[in-house]
Amino acid sequence: MIEVVNLTFHYSQPEAPVFENFSWQAAKGESWAIIGPSGCGKTTFLYLLAGLRQPTRGQVLVGGQRVYRPRPETGLILQDYGLLPWATLRQNVALGLRIRRFYGPDGKHVPRDYRVSNADHLVDKWMRRLGIAELADKYPGQVSGGQRQRTAIARTLVLEPDVLLMDEPFSSLDALTRENLQNVVAELYQETGIAVVIVTHSIEEAVFMGRRILVLHPPPNKKPHTVSNPDALTQGFRSSSAYLAVCEQLRQMMGLAI
């Protein structure tokens, strides 16, 4: 589904590259968490997958097609929500659908096979599913951070992406809200089966969210260091011995063990 082939990325020459001849792949429907210390290239890697940055050398492919620009089938959820403050929550959720109606199925901004018979139904569906239907007429400044993030998730899922990329989407939330939204994403993953890639600083979040975990190190990253974690995103996993074991394995890999 997602393939990174011999990727090299520099922010500027002659600085050392963030990635050098780096190859990695994610199968269709897999969930990946990406973790590592600050400055290791986590967000850069996500932006390369999204087509927001381009490799210095090598290539990124999704579904066998090289990514030269953001693809309309990829959903991206950011840490700062990215909501329009002057629009209601409902208008924010519907924003992508309005943009798609403007461009039409051109294959560049909108998938060529895109057809929506009832956009209002899709907006209602995802706002109900994410528990924000009763807030539809409120503005982002009138609701909590967790409700704003639910709105950002609904805005992305209403477009029915085949890849969902998330850049530390819960880091600014309190612990209870963060865990609740992690559970929501876990349920949505089980329902939709889309490929999920989440960047996080939290070992605990990485272990809960990623059935495969990519550990990055200070640049240059030359080869992937991965951890298999097949029980992630399942009910009761947080309280299991397997969860604690993978957390400890990550601490060892990141040099954080006491």
pTM to 2 decimals? 0.91
Q: In the prediction, which pLDDT does 239 show?
A: 92
Helix (H) or strand (E) holding 225: strand 225-228
Cross-sheet strand order for the sheet of 195-199: 74-77, 163-167, 195-199, 31-35, 212-215, 225-228
Alpha carbons 30 and 8: distance in angstroms, whole number: 24
Neighbours of 112 (CB within 10 A): 10
Alpha helices in 77-174 (DSSP H): 89-93, 95-103, 119-129, 145-157
Distance CA 249, CA 217 (A): 15
User: For residue 50, what is the DSSP state?
Assistant: H
Count of beta carbons in the 10 Å neighbourhood of residue 53 = 16
pLDDT of residue 56: 94
Q: Which domains does the chain carry?
A: 1-73+163-258 (3.40.50.300), 76-160 (3.40.50.300)
Strands across the sheet containing 2-9: 19-26, 2-9, 57-62, 65-66
* Strand pairing class (2-9; 19-26): antiparallel
What does the block give as tokens for 249? 């394995």
Task: Look at the block and give the residue holding tokens 């990550």.
Answer: 250
**33 in Cβ contact with 200 (< 8 Å):** yes
- Rounded CA gap, 97 and 122, in Å? 9
10-residue averages of pLDDT along the chain (258 residues): 94 85 94 94 95 95 92 89 93 92 80 76 92 96 93 92 92 87 89 92 95 95 94 92 95 76
